[in-house]
Amino acid sequence: MTGRTIEELAVGDAATLTRAVTPEIIQEYVSASGDANPVHSDAAFAASTRFGRIIAPGMLTGGLVSAVIGTTLPGPGTIYLSQELRFLKPVYVGDVITTRVVVEEVVRERNRLRLKTACTNQDGEVVLDGEAWVMPSKVHVEYEAPRPGRDRWEGRSYTYVPAALAAQVTSLWLATGLAMTNEAFRLCRPASRQSAPEVDPVRP
């Protein structure tokens, strides 16, 4: 992913993202957000509403706007300042939503962008529109996402240390006998960890 600075952006720049709305995506959002409104998860209840069937949470659709801003335009390193949204039509399971973000205004002296944001369904109907103000990164960013399965252990390499030390202790004990046991235990003590330097937050 590429995060662009304000110097790399101009009025009219645009980016899009298309995603299908599935029951699994809705359930993941409901679980993560705690939005237990049954119109999003209970087919019998949803059938009794004016919609007649399950609809996606409005902010799930709004989240697609955030996805475009945070990954493509301007991209990684962008800070949200404000977002205005209007929910115009319901989004149903099976809908294919295309999100489009367009640069409407560039305020270079304050490192600010005004963005037009909109989501349309597979029939070309606008289901959501709005406007966002964001602050792009002050430095150009080239970000490569961690390989699958790697990010979940990020920052946890210490979990592998005890096993390595245990193997070293066993080897010492077998080689030198009980006389070296105290030394082996000394080697097992984990080294003090220094706190990582604090990273300054992005400032305007």
**Per-residue model confidence as pLDDT tens digits over 170-190:** 444 344 444 444 444 454 455
CA distance 112 to 105: 8
What is the average pLDDT value for the chain, to the nearest integer?
A: 81
Question: Which pLDDT belongs to residue 146?
Answer: 81
Question: What's the rounded Cα separation, in Å, for the pair 88 and 90?
Answer: 7
Nearby residues of 46 by Cβ (< 8 Å), 6 or more positions away: 38, 39, 40, 52, 53, 54, 55
For residues 19-39, give the mean pLDDT.
94
pLDDT at 31 over 80: yes
- Six-digit token pair at 33? 């957000």
pLDDT of residue 144: 87
CATH number given to 2-141:
3.10.129.10
Residue-wise pLDDT for 137-152, tens only, equals 999 999 988 876 554 4
Which pLDDT score, from 0 to 100, does residue 175 have?
A: 46
Is the pTM value of this prediction over 0.75? no
Tokens of 67: 């996805």
Where do the structural domains in the chain lie, given as residue ranges? 2-141, 158-188
- Residue 160 pLDDT more than 50? no
Q: What is the residue-wise DSSP string for the chain?
A: -EEPPGGG--TT-EEEEEEE--HHHHHHHHHHH----GGGT-HHHHHTSTT-S-B--HHHHHHHHHHHHHHTSS-TT-EEEEEEEEE-S--BTT-EEEEEEEEEEEEGGGTEEEEEEEEE-TTS-EEEEEEEEEE--SS-EE--PPPTTTGGGTT-GGGGHHHHHHHHHHHHHHHHGGGGHHHHHHHHSPPPPPPPPPPPPP--
Average of pLDDT values for 82-95? 97
